[in-house]
Amino acid sequence: MRRAGIVLMNHGLITWGATPMEAYQRHMEIVKKADKFVGGGQTILSVQTGRIACPPLAPALRGALSRDRKVILEFDDSPEVLQFLARDDLERITQIGPATPDHLLYTKRFPLLLDNDSVEKYVERYKQNYEKFHSEFPMLDPMPRVILERGVGMWTAGKDARAARIVRDIYRHTMRVIAGAEKLGGYETLNDTDAFHAEYWPLELYKLTLLPKEKELAGHVALITGAASGIGRAIALRFAEEGAHVVVTDIADVSEVAAQVKGFRQAIAVKLDVSDENNVERAFEVAVREYGGVDVIVSNAGVSSFGTLDVLPLADWERSFAVNTRGHFLVARAAMRIMKQQGRGGSIVFNASKNVTAPGKEFGAYSVSKAAEAQLCRIVALEGGEFGIRANMLNPDAIFDGSRFWSEEMRAMRAQAYGIAADRLPEYYRNRTLLKTEVTAEDVAEAALFLAGPRSAKTTGAMLPVDGGVREAFPR
C-alpha cells in the first residue's frame, strides 16, 4: 500500500499527493480517522461552577502580567474549558507540556494554575530553568500566557487582542489533545532540553528582532465617554491609531465609531449614561471582561444648557450637575478602583472646558458644573498619586466640527449674544483667539494623547488649554 503521509513525533502530520487538493484531502481523512479513534465529538458535561460574568481577579492578574509591558487578556469560560478544568488530574496533565514545539512559542511550555500557584512563583521557575541551560540568548518574557482557575475559566494573555485570541485557540486545542491522549494511555511531549531549545531556537529569536516598534499606547485599554461624536469620537479613533484597545461609550449609538477601528477586537461599543451609577459600573465590567482591565480613561461626556440664572429651569441646572459633575465622579471612582487592583497606575483625562477659568454669561449651569469637574480632577490627582494614577484636564473651546454641543439652538443663542449671524459664529471664535486659528476635535485628541501616554508620565493635576489662545481663560 502506497504511503500517504507521515506522523512526526511531538510535531505533527505531513501528507502528500499528486496535487495540493489530493494532499489536503488525505490530510483530512487521516485527521478524521484519528479523531474517531480517540473518541472525538465528545459530549460536554454539565459543570456546576457558580460562574460570574466578570471575574474579580482579572485586574489584579492583568497587573501582575503587565510588569514590563501591558498585556490584553481574553477570558474563556466556555463549557469545554470548564469541563477540562474540572478534571481530577488537572494539576498533573497541565504541567506536562505543549502539544507541539510551535505551540510552545505562543503558549509557553506550561500554563499557570491559580489553584495553588502564583505569577511570582511561575516567573521564578522560568528563570531557574533558563539559568540551567546557560543560553547565549537573553531570557525571553517569563510571564505565563495561559492562566487557569478551577470553576472560573481560562485567561490568555497577548500584546493585543489578536495575540490573546491565538493563545486561547491553541490552548483549547491542546486541551482536546491532552484529553484524547489520556484516554489512549497517557499524554507525553517534549523533555526539558528539547522544550528549551525549541523556545530559544535562533531563527525564531531572529524574527523577534524584525518586529516593528510598538506604538505609543500598545497594550493599553482606554475607556472614552461621550464618544459618539465630536471630541470623544476623535479621541477614540486617535487612541486606536496609537495601538490602544478602546471601549467606546456614549448614551447615543457608538457602534459606527467602534466599527471604524479595524484591528481585531480592538474596539467595543457600550451604551452608557454616565449619570447612572449602575450604567457606569456595567461599562467597566465590560472592559474588564473583554480586555482584563483599564489603563486610560477619558471622561469626556457632557451636556450644555443656557439661560440667565433668573430664568434657568431647575431641571436644567440639575441635569448639568448630573452629567458634568456626578458623571465624572462615577467614572473616576470606577476607574480608580480597577487601577488600584491592577497596581500599575493609570491616567485619567478630564475634558473640562475653557469655561472653568473663563465662565460664560448665560452659561451658568454649564460653567459651575464644569468648575466642579475641575476640582474633582485635582482631588483624583491628590488621592491617586501614591498609586501611580495621574489625573489631568483639558480645557478646549468652541469645537464646532461634528459636535452635538453646538445645536442649531445653541448656535442661534450665542450668535444673538454676540450680535452676529449664526453662520459667522466659527469665524468669530477663531478671530478672538491669539493665534487666529480654529481648534478642531483632532487638536483636542492630540492633547488627550499626550496626557494619556508616557510622554506626560511625570504630570498630574495639570490643566492644558486647547483653545487657540483665549486670554480670558489663561490658567490662574
Give the catalytic positions in this structure.
366
C-alpha cell at 289: 471582561
Say whether 282 sits in a helix, a strand or coil.
helix
Of 53, 263, 296, which is closest to residue 158 (Cα–Cα)? 263
State how far Cα 359 lies from the chain centre: 36
Q: List, in order, residues 6 or more apart from 47 with CB less than 8 Å away.
A: 79, 82, 83, 86
How far is 395 from 463, CA to CA, in rounded Å? Answer: 7
Three-point CA angle 462, 468, 472, nearest 5°: 70
The answer to whether 339 touches 389, Cβ cutoff 8 Å, is yes
Question: Strands 296-299, 346-351: parallel, antiparallel or unpaired by DSSP?
Answer: parallel
Strand partners, 464: 394
Question: Strands 389-396, 463-466: parallel, antiparallel or unpaired by DSSP?
Answer: parallel
C-alpha cell at 306: 443656557
Neighbour count for residue 244 (Cβ, 10 Å):
32
53-to-108, 290, 368, 436 alpha-carbon distances in Å: 27, 11, 39, 52
The answer to whether 338 touches 288, Cβ cutoff 8 Å, is yes
How far is 337 from 283, CA to CA, in rounded Å? Answer: 14
The answer to whether 433 touches 470, Cβ cutoff 8 Å, is yes
